[in-house]
Amino acid sequence: MLFNSVEYFLFFTVIAVTYYILPSKFRWILLLVSSIFFYMYLVPAYIILALVIAVNDYTAAKLMERNPLKKKIYLWQSLIIDLGILFTFKYFNFFSINVSKLSALLGWNYSTVLLEILLPVGLSFFIFKSLSYTIDVYRGNFKPENNFAKYFLFVIFFPEVLSGPIDRASNLLPQFNEKKSYDYNIITSGLILFAWGLFKKVVIADRLAAVVNPIFSDYTTYSGVPLIISVLFFPFQIYCDFSGYTDMALGSGLILGYKLLPNFNRPYFSHSISDFWRRWHMSLSFWLRDYIFLPIAYSSARYFTKLKGFKVDKWSYIVAVSITFFITGLWHGAGWNFIFWGCLMGFYLIFGMLTKNIRRKFLRKTNLTNSPFIHTVRILFTFSLVSFAWIFFNSASFSQAVYIITHIFHVFPLQMKGNHIGGSYYPLPYFRVFFPIMLVLLLIFIERLQKDLEIQVYIKSKPTWFRWVSYYILILLIIIFNKADTTGFIYLNF
């Protein structure tokens, strides 16, 4: 795949150089052609699918503008077509198989129908992006775009078409009409962000994947220490993999003069699950908040106000969180393990809300509210809850997740033999385990120093010698570890 290695960097370099050579008014056309080429390189036939989605939502928005009294009809047209496409390609087989199982239990005669179609790359991302446009137009928050070509560019903008971030029309579309000029500071910031993302992917995530993927793929042969190692490694693998892609996308955008939506803010420094979802996959979290959670919360609140004895805020929150995180799990994958993962995250949030006052009173009475120790405990506890949930996310099935959980503490004592560590079946080489641990500690150390500053801002605030030493070390590590065994991006599957 094009986006697996330095080939993307070479592709992007050609685009960036040509971009600044061209007159400003033609640059968006270059981006459109490049985005179409990029997507067709991956899956040629599915560019037609992206075009259908773009035509559907562009047309619906224009009709809303011309016929405001019928705008709800046009919104439903947009929703039905877009979600129908998503259901057909991503969920039809899952639902067909489960209907068949249910029919067998009930004694009904149902023959399973399966579609032999490949899930288009980035389908969930650009459908959510396009849907947000029509919903915003319906709500009156955004004026419809007149130029269809620019709207199509918004839908398939190549830096973020594969795995997001899920941008908003209000953020990206106006930037296509702005005059972009060469800015050394912005371009260097983009290069730093791109290099940092590439480092997180090919150096950290892929070294962790070399341990995690074989264990999860052949999980029945492992127990005890190897399972513990893989469960603790995966949170950092998926973070460095996905945030690495995001940083590369945001860096690409900055180099071209575009400010894309941020997607991560040091999520493993979160002190609660709600804080985690404000820091993890932020563009999706805020999309779900604005277009699913808040509408459901407001609607259920109006219903509960009619009932006596109901605490409106509490119950509307429970209903909205339950539905939102069921959809969150289903969005990530057509499997019961993903649905359970989403529901588990929702349970964490609901339990946290129900016990919030109790925990606050306890901390006030013990004078531990601002204690650094309690702050650290909260971070570690949140990380533990998230890591447990990731087991279901990374498993191929619900039964695999159950196996890992029930076997993770078998043969618990640390076993060592020669230069290996782990269980008696497939012990892991020391270097294969301890080198990724050093990389994870380096990541934590950097993010601890970075605090809430963006990495490029943090680096550029340092002395010249520090910056250039950092650049050379980063480039050297990327060159050394950008090997043929580099894995694909995890979120390309969604």
Within a domain: residue 252? yes
- Cα dihedral sign for 76, 77, 82, 88? positive
Mean of all residue pLDDT scores within the chain? 87
Within a domain: residue 89? yes
Cα–Cα distance measured from residue 16 to residue 468, given in angstroms and rounded to the nearest whole number = 23
Q: Which of 386, 407, 428 is the last residue of a domain?
A: 407
Q: For residues 191 and 178, state if they share a domain.
A: no
Q: For residues 201 and 159, state if they share a domain.
A: no
Within a domain: residue 443? yes
Tokens of 311: 């605490």
Q: Which of 407, 426, 443 is the last residue of a domain?
A: 407
% of the chain surpassing 90 pLDDT: 51
Say which amino acid occupies 195.
A
Q: For residues 159 and 16, state if they share a domain.
A: yes
Cα–Cα distance measured from residue 43 to residue 145, given in angstroms and rounded to the nearest whole number = 27
Q: Tally the domains of the chain.
A: 3
- Kindly tell me if the per-residue pLDDT of 420 is higher than 70: no
Buried/exposed 48-63: b ≥16 CB within 10 Å, e otherwise: ebbeebbebbbbbbbb
Query: Quick count: other Cβ atoms within 10 Å of Cβ 471?
Result: 14
Three-state DSSP state, 429: strand
Give the residue carrying structure tokens 């309690």.
374
Q: For residues 251 and 120, state if they share a domain.
A: no
H or E stretch at 295: helix 294-304
Which strands, in side-by-side order, build the sheet including 416-417?
A: 416-417, 420-421, 428-429
For the stretch 233-276, pLDDT in tens is 999 999 999 999 999 999 999 999 999 999 999 999 999 999 99
Q: For residues 174 and 79, state if they share a domain.
A: yes
Evaluate whether 154 touches 129 at the Cβ level (below 8 Å).
yes
**What does the pLDDT read at residue 9?**
75
Torsion of CA 276, 282, 287, 288, to 10 degrees: -20
Cα–Cα distance measured from residue 252 to residue 196, given in angstroms and rounded to the nearest whole number = 12
Judging by DSSP bridges, how do beta strands 420-421 and 416-417 pair with one another?
Answer: antiparallel
The model's confidence at residue 44, banded by pLDDT at 50, 70 and 90, is confident
Cα–Cα distance measured from residue 240 to residue 152, given in angstroms and rounded to the nearest whole number = 30
Q: For residues 190 and 177, state if they share a domain.
A: no
For the stretch 122-160, pLDDT in tens is 889 989 999 999 999 999 999 999 999 999 999 999 888
Q: For residues 464 and 366, state if they share a domain.
A: no
pTM above 0.75, yes or no: yes
Give the residue carrying structure tokens 């149902």.
110
Within a domain: residue 105? no
Query: How buried is residue 129: exposed, middle or buried, by Cβ count under 10 Å (0-12/13-18/19+)?
Result: buried
Helix, strand, coil share (%) of the chain residues, nearest 5: 75, 0, 25
Q: For residues 328 and 428, state if they share a domain.
A: no
Within a domain: residue 366? yes
Evaluate whether 135 touches 144 at the Cβ level (below 8 Å).
no
**What does the pLDDT read at residue 4?**
55
For the stretch 347-382, pLDDT in tens is 999 999 999 888 888 878 877 777 888 889 999 999
Q: For residues 17 and 129, state if they share a domain.
A: yes
Task: Kindly calculate the radius of gyration of the chain based on its CA atoms and give it in whole angstroms.
Answer: 24
- Kindly tell me if the per-residue pLDDT of 168 is higher than 50: yes
Mean pLDDT of 81-102: 88
Within a domain: residue 45? yes
Within a domain: residue 109? no
Within a domain: residue 176? yes
The model's confidence at residue 318, banded by pLDDT at 50, 70 and 90, is very high
Q: For residues 292 and 243, state if they share a domain.
A: no
DSSP secondary structure letter of residue 179 = P
**What does the pLDDT read at residue 466?**
87
Q: Determine phi and psi for 428, rounding to 5 degrees.
A: -100, 140
- Output the DSSP codes for 160-200: TTTT-----HHHHGGGGGSPP---HHHHHHHHHHHHHHHHI
**Quick one: residue 140, left, alpha or beta (phi over 0 = left, psi -120 to 50 = alpha)?**
left
**Residue 259 lies in domain:** 185-264+413-493
Q: For residues 176 and 195, state if they share a domain.
A: no
Cα–Cα distance measured from residue 233 to residue 219, given in angstroms and rounded to the nearest whole number = 15
**What does the pLDDT read at residue 419?**
47
- Kindly tell me if the per-residue pLDDT of 107 is higher than 80: no
Cα–Cα distance measured from residue 134 to residue 59, given in angstroms and rounded to the nearest whole number = 9
Q: For residues 386 and 256, state if they share a domain.
A: no
Evaluate whether 279 touches 264 at the Cβ level (below 8 Å).
yes
Omega before residue 429 within 30° of 0, cis: no
Evaluate whether 419 touches 434 at the Cβ level (below 8 Å).
no
Q: Determine phi and psi for 185, rounding to 5 degrees.
A: -65, -40
Evaluate whether 45 touches 119 at the Cβ level (below 8 Å).
no
Q: Which of 407, 423, 448 is the last residue of a domain?
A: 407
